[in-house]
Structure 1
Amino acid sequence: MNLKEIFINLVKNYGYFGIFIIGFTEPIFQPFPVEIFIGAALLLGLDWKLVLIISTVASLLGATITYILAKKFGEGLAIKLFGEEKVKKASNLLNKYGILGVLIASFTPIPFEVICWICGTFEMPFDRYLIAVLISRFIRHAMVIVPYLLYKKVF
């Protein structure tokens, strides 16, 4: 069983707790965006409001852990994990745009965990980091939910 199957089973068998685990681990190490599993959770009948809240809070908590780890272990580990090119791109974006850079990077192909590692490594002010993570995760997760609600004619 691969990681993707494990996560699908987490959502299927554990519902909201499964969404929490996937959302929490995404900014730390796992390669699959939680948005994939948000869609699955909605199709399984989970309440969209709770899914949005849980996934966003879980991502925020995971991003906090990643920031702390990155601050402690630094640039060398980030380069080892993600490669020098991705680290440089993310670092340049962060230095140039701050919170806006995190928001922009959150909607690019740069993996979210790379962004979190860069923010911690280069010690972006923690309060600004949390604001950027909260906004970006809420928007990304809502982007999955809104089409579902339109389909269900909730609006």
Structure 2
Amino acid sequence: MAADDLPPVENAVIPATPVPLSRAINTRQLFLRGIVGLGLVMIGLGAIGYFLRGPVKAWSVVFVDKLGGLGVSLGFFLPDAFTFPIPPEPWMAAALIGGLPFWEIVLFGSAGSLIGGTCGYFFARQVAHTPWYQRTVLERYADMHKLIETYGTHALVVGALTPLPYSVAAWACGAISMPFSRFFAVSLLRIPRVIGYLALVKLGVVSLT
């Protein structure tokens, strides 16, 4: 179901200090940006694995030996809390190539994602009223904030399951003071997303190793 077709949430939580938004929602652009970004990551992983198979294998073994599941958690925590420029997929691939079991990656990845999103939620809840947040974060991510403000929980479901930036969705939920219990309950959908994306990464890894 496309986000354009979602019904507006009647009881969406409105922040005590209204968050100004400079432009209308552009959900198609958000989806396209997320899908293109994921596609580029997958293509990049495939190219690196094909042309640098030996070094990638050696580095992945070191990654698992030195960091193990903690490295996977960190690989999810950073982008889901702070929009870190490196997405989780490379770390999932490294963990698989390095020999970490599938379900162990799911466990640590899901934990890192949920903790990261929670940190992002409370971070935004504390600073959403500041000029810095409204000037920089809202200016850059106005579409996602407006999507969350308009559709509430329904939009968070989309953010949790799709290539849309989950960290920004978490910030937006904190900024509008969505109840944390609701935010965390929906964020549990990150677990099936981790499983699905890891399965895709595993298909690519198996074809290259």
Is the TM value for this pair above 0.5? yes
* Corresponding residue of 1:13: 66
Partner of 2:9: none
Which is greater in Rg?
2
Aligned to 1:64: 118
Q: Which residue of 1 aligns with 2:183?
A: 129
CA contact (8 A) 1:27 1:113 kept: yes
Size of the aligned set, in residue pairs, is: 142
Q: Does the CA contact (< 8 Å) of 1:12 and 1:41 recur in 2? A: no
Matching of residue 49 in structure 1 with residue 107 in structure 2: no
Counting aligned pairs with the same residue, the percent is 25
Q: Determine helix, strand or coil for the equivalent of 1:32.
A: coil
- Structure 2: which amino acid aligns with 1:84? E
Mind listing any 5+ residue stretches in structure 2 that lack a counterpart?
1-59
| Runs (4+) off by over 3 Å | 8-12, 75-83, 149-152
Q: Give the number of the structure whose residues are more often helix, by fraction.
A: 1
String of CA shifts for 1:50-78, please: whole Å, max 9, x gaps. Answer: 11011111111111111111111115444
Structure 1 match to 2:19: none
Q: Structure 1 residues 149 and 121 mapped into 2: Cα distance closer, same or farther (>3 Å)? A: same
Relative to the length of structure 2, the TM-score reads 0.59
Give the TM-score normalised by structure 1: 0.76
Q: Describe the shift of the 1:139–1:77 C-alpha distance in structure 2 as closer, same or farther (beyond 3 A).
A: farther
Q: In 2, Cα distance between the equivalents of 1:83 and 1:114?
A: 10
Q: With CA pairs under 8 Å and 6+ residues apart, which has the higher RCO, 1 or 2?
A: 2
The letter for the 1-side match of 2:198 is I
Q: Please say which of residues 41-50 and 95-104 is displaced more in the overlay.
A: 95-104
CA RMSD of aligned residues (A): 2.6
Determine whether 1:22 maps to 2:75: yes
1:31-68 per-residue CA deviation (whole Å, 9 max, x = no partner) reads: 22213311221121101111101111111111111111
Given that residues 24 and 62 in structure 1 are in contact (C-alpha distance below 8 angstroms), is that contact kept between their aligned partners in structure 2? yes
Structure 1 residues 117 and 129, CA gap change in structure 2 (3 angstroms): same
Give the aligned residue type for 2:117: A
Q: Which runs of 5+ in 1 are unaligned?
A: 1-7
The residue type paired with residue 69 of structure 2 is Y
Q: Residue type matched to 2:106 in 1?
A: L
Aligned to 2:89: 35
1:104-128 Cα shifts (integer Å, max 9, x gaps): 134244x222111111111111111
Equivalents in 2 of 1:10, 1:73: separation in Å? 35
d(CA) in 1 for partners of 2:156, 2:144: 9
In structure 2, what residue type is equivalent to 1:146?
A: A
In the alignment, the residues of structure 2 paired with residue 151 and residue 28 of structure 1 have an alpha-carbon distance, to the nearest angstrom, of: 27
Deviation at 1:11, TM superposition (A): 5.0
Q: Which residue of 2 aligns with 1:112?
A: 166
